[in-house]
């Protein structure tokens, strides 16, 4: 059976021709990597520099892009005035030059056409591409309503398409970073303190006396400022406690490593709360003055002893008590880190609630060495008409569910794209900006099913990621080194703004996102919402409202302002009003209770691996940001593929050797497309295996990263949904080992890259053989 939207391999014409040969030199030292970014300069050459902030991860460190005398971009370094990086970039940040030079980049607009019964991409002009998108969007709005158009966004340019969609009449705008990453912690901390954590996290690590990391991998996730501050804290002899089934980089720097049984973190947190309350280790003055529900909490945890937790977590009672005492001794200069990727087991809001409660008991919120009070600059919105009010939202598809979700759910929009008899209108169009949904959303088969029910899918990206193969129209965005974007205004200790400006003209026929949104807006009759010729007009107008200008920011890149709304920490004796129902820190959450959820967190057991299977744990590497950077020529040289971490006991049972290539199969019979090499190590528990996320690309247009390592995302088919805010818990998947290459039939099962006709052909071949 032929599907209406097959996966198309983009031809060389659309992506930039043949790949260059890879370097045979593999770089192991940071200094060697740095040498790749330096060019020999003639003494007569004068370099130009241009301010920017990084787009490789959400930390958005500000820096300088340098060009040599020939006008070529040669390096990126940190801006000394930027509190995000303090003048130092991580490997990803300095590797941004590789993104600019990647010969596999998307080069020109492409549209899906059918030629001789086969779907192909053809190069088209920008006018043709935008005219087609406009026509389809207006048709959908007329027949179904503008709310049936949705935006998935990740990155700075998504704001322009968000503005466009709101002007069009749809508020269905989702960032996968919410439901697939940080959403539960925001809801948990809002329910407790009346404030979200935000990005970057306001953790006062440089002055902490005790840092607790529970599934947070500082040093591997390369959240730049936190890595630097953790180094400072270690030099000051701060106690580090790391809870992780894997001996991570952070664990190697810790006084205590607690190799917890996966899926039992909430039991450990409740036992810590028990010890701190029962042994009266909590910050009594802080609790009495600032909290609501202490007595209910005390009664709730009375039976949650370290001995009870030991039978669940495998962490010995004495270790639980000693680590609780370490936290209390450091109070209030203690941080139980909230983490970032916290969508694990479906009870994630309640787990992060427990983390928030623990921080409250220790008095760390608003205290030096705990959580500081961030402040940011508010830039006025550039004048434009009011948005029309949408008649429907994504919530209509989930009545009575996910009541505390603050933002739209990417997975929810995906699910609501598949038609049902109960729904008036499913989503008909997706605009996908800068996010590879195939490798981002769990349960790839569901994503594929949703895509097949769309009238149009538009992908805006710099690279030919897997999602572009399913698009009807592909719009090539220029890299962040070739464009202006909004002023960075994230909250830190000191209010700071940072400018991103182009260091070079866009390569090929790529364009910045602001230009695409403006041009599409014109065609949709929304020109009044884009009342400027060039985006520099918007930036200069906004900067002048806060006493700066575009000319000033081009020279300095980063500008700091004085705090206006209070000190960095709460003052002794200060009367504090929290943004909760009671005006207090809510240990007992009235917001949770009002919506029918448990007002206090409790541990509930989760499924365990069947015999011969192991829990799939995934994580990060310091040189890569998910699947976005694995094809970057500079960062590829640092890490070409992922390995499968296997405990020696398990390796012995399966007769697995270091460097041996194997495949993984999950509990639903889904098999990895590509093999990966075994790494036998004591650094992982015997009941789990570990891989770095973002590898195993199936798009051959990514000439370096195609087929390198395995995709953990393909194996995540069991999704444990958080009932409170809709987060997609992804660590309830189990895998076993295949030492022989799977058959084509096994690989085809659940493969979103094969349509039904192709799958049936494979099945037929298997039957014949």
Cis peptide before 761 (omega within 30 of 0): no
Look at residue 368 and tell me whether its pLDDT is greater than 50: yes
Residues contacting residue 312 through CB under 8 Å, at least 6 positions apart: 261, 264, 267, 603, 605
Look at residue 514 and tell me whether its pLDDT is greater than 90: yes
pLDDT tens per residue across span 92-145:
889 999 999 999 999 999 999 999 889 999 999 999 999 999 999 999 999 999
Of the listed ranges 13-22, 322-331, 478-487, the least confidently predicted one is 13-22
- Residue 475 φ then ψ, to 5°: -110, 115
Query: Which of 335, 248, 386 minimizes the C-alpha distance to 690?
Result: 248
Look at residue 37 and tell me whether its pLDDT is greater than 60: no
Give the pLDDT mean for 285-291. 96
Q: Across the strands, what pairs with 150? A: 430
Give the pLDDT mean for 279-292. 96
Task: Encode burial over 111-122: b for 16+ CB neighbours within 10 A, e otherwise.
Answer: bbeeeeeebbbe
Task: Encode burial over 150-173: b for 16+ CB neighbours within 10 A, e otherwise.
Answer: bbbbbbbbbbbbbbbbbbbbbbbb
Q: Across the strands, what pairs with 478? A: none
Alpha-carbon span 347 to 270, nearest angstrom: 14
Q: How many residues does the chain have?
A: 769
Give the pLDDT mean for 601-623. 95
DSSP track, 494-563: S-EEE----SSPPSTT-B-HHHHHHHHHHHTT-GGGG--SSHHHHHHHHHHHTT--HHHHHHHSEEE---
Task: Categorise residue 559: left if φ over 0, alpha if ψ from -120 to 50, beta otherwise.
Answer: beta
pTM over 0.85, yes/no: yes
Give the pLDDT mean for 492-509. 96
Domains in the chain, ordered, with CATH?
193-373+585-594 (3.40.228.10), 614-762 (2.40.40.20)
Look at residue 40 and tell me whether its pLDDT is greater than 70: no
Look at residue 11 and tell me whether its pLDDT is greater than 70: no
The four Cα atoms 680, 665, 668, 245 give a dihedral, to 10 degrees, of: 10
Which DSSP helix (H) or strand (E) runs through 430? strand 429-433
Give the CA diameter of the chain: 81
- Predicted confidence at residue 594, as pLDDT, reads 97
Give the pLDDT mean for 656-673. 96
Alpha-carbon span 455 to 628, nearest angstrom: 27
Let me know: does 270 contact 602? Beta carbons within 8 Å.
yes
Give the pLDDT mean for 268-274. 98
Give the pLDDT mean for 396-410. 93
- Residue 112 φ then ψ, to 5°: -75, 130
Q: Across the strands, what pairs with 264? A: none
Look at residue 9 and tell me whether its pLDDT is greater than 70: no
Task: Work out the pLDDT band at 566, boundaries 50, 70, 90.
Answer: confident
Is the torsion defined by CA of 472, 473, 474, 477 positive or negative? negative
Look at residue 36 and tell me whether its pLDDT is greater than 80: no
Of the listed ranges 268-272, 670-674, 756-760, the least confidently predicted one is 756-760
Alpha-carbon span 427 to 394, nearest angstrom: 9
Q: Edge-to-edge strand order for the sheet containing 256-258?
A: 256-258, 239-243, 210-214, 334-336
Alpha-carbon span 552 to 187, nearest angstrom: 39
Task: Work out the pLDDT band at 751, boundaries 50, 70, 90.
Answer: low
Range among 55-59, 326-330, 491-495, 757-761 rated most confident: 326-330
Of the listed ranges 274-283, 676-685, 760-769, the least confidently predicted one is 760-769
Give the pLDDT mean for 288-317. 98
Alpha-carbon span 413 to 395, nearest angstrom: 9
Look at residue 756 and tell me whether its pLDDT is greater than 60: no
- Predicted confidence at residue 8, as pLDDT, reads 74
Look at residue 33 and tell me whether its pLDDT is greater than 80: no
- Predicted confidence at residue 3, as pLDDT, reads 62
Output the average pLDDT for the chain.
91
Would you tell me how many other CB atoms lie within 10 Å of the CB of residue 135?
13
Let me know: does 56 contact 89? Beta carbons within 8 Å.
no
- Predicted confidence at residue 222, as pLDDT, reads 81
Query: Which of 606, 602, 725 minimizes the C-alpha distance to 351?
Result: 602
- Predicted confidence at residue 132, as pLDDT, reads 98
Look at residue 530 and tell me whether its pLDDT is greater than 90: yes
Alpha-carbon span 628 to 636, nearest angstrom: 11
Give the pLDDT mean for 561-582. 94
Q: Is 76 helix (H, G, I), strand (E, B) or coil?
A: strand
Look at residue 519 and tell me whether its pLDDT is greater than 80: yes
Query: In degrees, to the nearest 5, what angle opens at C-alpha 534 toward C-alphas 533 and 538?
Result: 105
């Amino acid at each position: 059976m032929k599907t209406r939207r097959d996966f198309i391999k983009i031809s060389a014409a659309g992506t930039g021709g043949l790949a260059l040969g890879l370097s045979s030199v593999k770089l192991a030292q940071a200094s060697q990597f740095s040498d790749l970014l330096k060019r020999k300069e003639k003494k007569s050459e004068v370099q130009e520099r241009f301010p920017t902030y990084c787009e490789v991860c959400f930390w958005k460190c500000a820096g300088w892009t340098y060009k040599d005398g020939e006008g070529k971009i040669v390096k990126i370094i940190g801006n000394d005035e930027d509190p995000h990086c303090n003048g130092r970039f991580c490997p990803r940040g300095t590797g941004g030059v590789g993104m600019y030079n990647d010969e596999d980049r998307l080069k020109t607009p492409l549209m899906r056409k059918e030629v001789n019964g086969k779907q192909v991409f053809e190069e088209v002009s920008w006018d043709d591409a935008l005219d087609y998108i406009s026509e389809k969007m207006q048709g959908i709005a007329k027949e179904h309503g503008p709310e049936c158009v949705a935006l998935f966004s990740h990155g700075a340019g998504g704001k322009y398409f968000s503005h466009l969609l709101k002007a069009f009449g749809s508020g269905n705008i989702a960032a996968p970073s919410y439901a697939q990453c940080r959403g539960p912690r925001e809801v948990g901390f809002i329910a407790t303190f009346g404030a979200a954590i935000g990005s970057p996290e306001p953790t006062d690590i440089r002055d902490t006396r005790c840092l607790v990391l529970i599934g947070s991998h500082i040093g591997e996730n390369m959240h730049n400022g936190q890595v630097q501050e953790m180094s400072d804290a270690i030099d000051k002899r701060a106690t580090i406690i790391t809870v992780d089934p894997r001996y991570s980089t952070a664990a190697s720097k810790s006084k205590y490593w607690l190799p917890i049984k996966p899926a039992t973190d909430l039991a450990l947190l409740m036992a810590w709360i028990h010890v701190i309350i029962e042994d009266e280790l909590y910050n009594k003055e802080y609790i009495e003055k600032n909290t609501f529900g202490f007595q209910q909490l005390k009664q709730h945890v009375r039976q949650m002893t370290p001995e009870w937790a030991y039978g669940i977590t495998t962490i010995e009672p004495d270790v639980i008590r000693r680590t609780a005492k370490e936290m209390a001794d450091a109070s209030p200069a203690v941080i139980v880190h909230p983490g970032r990727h916290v969508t694990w087991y479906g009870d994630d809001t309640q787990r992060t609630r427990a983390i928030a409660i623990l921080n409250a008991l220790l008095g760390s919120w608003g205290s030096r060495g705990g959580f500081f009070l961030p402040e940011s600059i508010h830039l006025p919105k550039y004048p434009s008409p009011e948005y029309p009010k949408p008649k429907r939202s994504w919530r209509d598809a989930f009545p009575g569910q996910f009541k505390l979700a603050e933002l739209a759910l990417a997975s929810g929009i995906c699910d609501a794209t598949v038609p049902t008899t109960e729904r008036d209108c499913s989503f008909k169009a997706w605009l996908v900006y800068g996010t590879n949904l195939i490798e981002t959303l769990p349960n790839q088969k569901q994503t594929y099913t949703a895509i097949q029910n769309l009238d149009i899918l538009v992908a805006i990206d710099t690279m030919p990621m897997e999602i572009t193969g399913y698009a009807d129209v592909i719009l090539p965005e220029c890299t962040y080194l070739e464009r202006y974007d909004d002023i960075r205004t994230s909250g830190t200790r000191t209010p700071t703004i940072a400018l991103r400006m182009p260091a070079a003209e866009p390569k090929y026929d790529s364009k910045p996102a602001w230009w695409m949104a403006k041009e599409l807006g014109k065609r949709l009759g929304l020109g009044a919402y884009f009342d400027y010729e060039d985006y520099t007009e918007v930036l200069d107008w906004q900067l002048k409202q806060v006493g700066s200008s575009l000319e000033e920011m081009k020279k300095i890149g980063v500008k700091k302002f004085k705090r206006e709304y209070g000190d960095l920490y709460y003052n002794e004796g200060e009367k504090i009003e929290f943004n909760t129902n009671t005006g207090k820190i809510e240990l007992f959450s009235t917001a949770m209770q009002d919506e029918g959820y448990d007002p206090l967190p409790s541990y509930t057991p989760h499924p365990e691996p069947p015999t011969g299977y192991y829990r799939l744990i995934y994580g990060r590497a310091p040189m890569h940001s998910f699947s976005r950077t694995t094809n970057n020529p500079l960062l590829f040289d640092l890490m070409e593929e992922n390995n499968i971490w296997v405990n020696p006991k398990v390796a012995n049972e399966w007769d697995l050797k270091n460097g041996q290539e194997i495949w993984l199969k999950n509990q639903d019979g889904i098999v990895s497309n590509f093999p990966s090499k075994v790494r036998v190590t004591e650094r992982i528990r015997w009941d789990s295996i570990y891989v770095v996320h973002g590898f195993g690309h199936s798009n051959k247009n990514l000439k370096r990263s195609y087929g390198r390592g395995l995709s953990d995302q393909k194996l995540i088919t069991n999704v444990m949904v958080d009932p409170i805010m809709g987060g997609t818990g992804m660590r309830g998947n189990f895998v076993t080992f295949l030492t022989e290459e799977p058959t084509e039939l096994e690989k085809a099962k659940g493969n979103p890259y094969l349509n039904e006709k192709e799958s049936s052909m494979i099945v037929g071949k298997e039957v014949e053989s």
